[in-house]
């Protein structure tokens, strides 16, 4: 049972996960790179059960810890404080933002394998990386509810994946086990299950970028069943990070 969720990163995904956790009765400790004093407005918005800390304190406090910072900063994650913890990695590799990682560009490893390499004593699980923050909030449903959405998870540690799956269930999602960290590319940018399946079909007449953004921010979502998620994962093809970014537009 996750009594406290630690969040290293308080951006849109981190803030949304904090809301879902609090709604499920889980306390949250949020952190960012600028210090807890910069998170007071967010903590006030989140309400009772939330507090701000630095990354090390959030890592120590969390029964499960979510790493939701830009991948280029994954080496900033506190190693000692995360030792033995289940660490959920929401991070995706965007070369233009994160700088170039030769092993990733050559598809020799996945970004989550590099995160696990940095955190050798942690049980790293890839999750929450393939859905945008608005759909993450609006598609959450109680366990057993009709129209529940599935999200992929991947990891090398069976117990870690079990813990992550239980957290997903409490937060409102079915978990689809897609394999090991070496398989985690199957939910990364450019794959069939990345973001688009959770969005409604965009009207063909919407081509202006500002109109597209307005449509996106309306927040409508499409439930993705576990059967559909399995098909998308099975049929997806791996692209290089550069190709993946180009395919996203």
pTM reported for the whole predicted model = 0.93
pLDDT band at 34 (very low <50, low <70, confident <90, very high): very high
Residue 117 is assigned to a structural domain of this protein: yes
The predicted pLDDT at position 248 comes to: 56
2, part of any domain: no
Cβ contact 39:9 at 8 Å: no
State the DSSP string of 214-226: HHHHT-------H
- Placement of tokens 């996945």 in the chain: 110
Q: Specify the residue for token string 């913890």.
A: 85
Q: Is residue 65 part of a domain?
A: no
Mean pLDDT of the chain: 94
- The pLDDT-based confidence of 246 (bands split at 50, 70, 90) is low
Sequence-distant contacts of 105-112: CB under 8 A, at least 24 apart: 105/240, 105/241, 105/242, 107/185, 107/238, 107/240, 109/182, 110/181, 110/182, 110/183, 110/184, 110/185, 110/188, 111/71, 111/74, 111/184, 111/188, 112/154, 112/181, 112/184
CA–chain centroid gap for 244, Å, is 18
| Residue 241, pLDDT score | 78
Element (H, E) at 126: strand 123-126
Give the whole-number percent of the chain exceeding pLDDT 70: 97
Share of the chain residues as helix, strand and coil, in percent rounded to the nearest 5: 45, 15, 40
CATH of the domain at 239: 3.40.50
pLDDT digits (tens, 9 = 90+) for 193-229: 999 999 998 888 888 999 888 888 887 899 999 999 9
Residue 219 lies in a domain: yes
Query: Considering the domain boundaries, does residue 113 fall inside one?
Result: yes
Q: Is residue 202 part of a domain?
A: yes
**Is residue 225 in some structural domain?**
yes
Containing structural domain, residue 99: 70-248
- pLDDT, one tens digit per residue, over 80-125 is 999 999 999 999 999 999 999 999 999 999 999 999 999 999 999 9
Domain count, the chain: 1
- Write a three-state SS string for 28-43: EEEECCCCHHHHHHHH
* Count of positions (residues) in the chain: 249
């Amino acid at each position: 049972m996750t009594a406290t969720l630690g969040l290293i990163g308080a951006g849109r995904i981190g803030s949304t996960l904090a809301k879902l956790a609090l709604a499920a009765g889980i306390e949250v400790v949020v952190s960012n790179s600028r210090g807890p004093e910069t998170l007071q407005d967010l903590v006030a918005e989140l309400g009772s059960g939330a507090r701000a800390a630095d990354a090390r304190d959030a890592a120590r406090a969390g029964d499960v810890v979510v790493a939701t910072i830009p991948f280029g900063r994954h080496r900033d994650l506190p190693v000692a404080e995360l030792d033995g913890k289940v660490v959920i990695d929401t991070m995706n590799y965007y070369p233009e933002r994160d700088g170039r990682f030769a092993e990733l560009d050559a598809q020799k490893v996945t970004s989550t394998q590099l995160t696990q390499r940095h955190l050798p004593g942690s049980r790293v699980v890839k999750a929450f990386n393939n859905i945008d923050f608005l759909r993450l909030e609006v598609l959450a449903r109680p366990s057993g509810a009709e129209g529940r959405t599935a999200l992929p998870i991947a990891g090398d540690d069976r117990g870690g994946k079990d813990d992550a799956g239980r957290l997903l269930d409490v937060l409102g999602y079915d978990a689809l086990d897609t394999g090991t960290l070496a398989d985690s590319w199957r939910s990364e940018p450019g794959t069939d299950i990345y973001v688009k399946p959770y969005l409604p079909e965009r009207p063909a007449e919407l081509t202006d970028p500002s109109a597209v953004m307005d449509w996106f921010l309306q927040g409508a979502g499409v439930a993705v069943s576990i059967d559909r998620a399995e098909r998308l994962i099975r049929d997806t093809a791996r692209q290089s990070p550069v190709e993946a970014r180009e395919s996203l537009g």
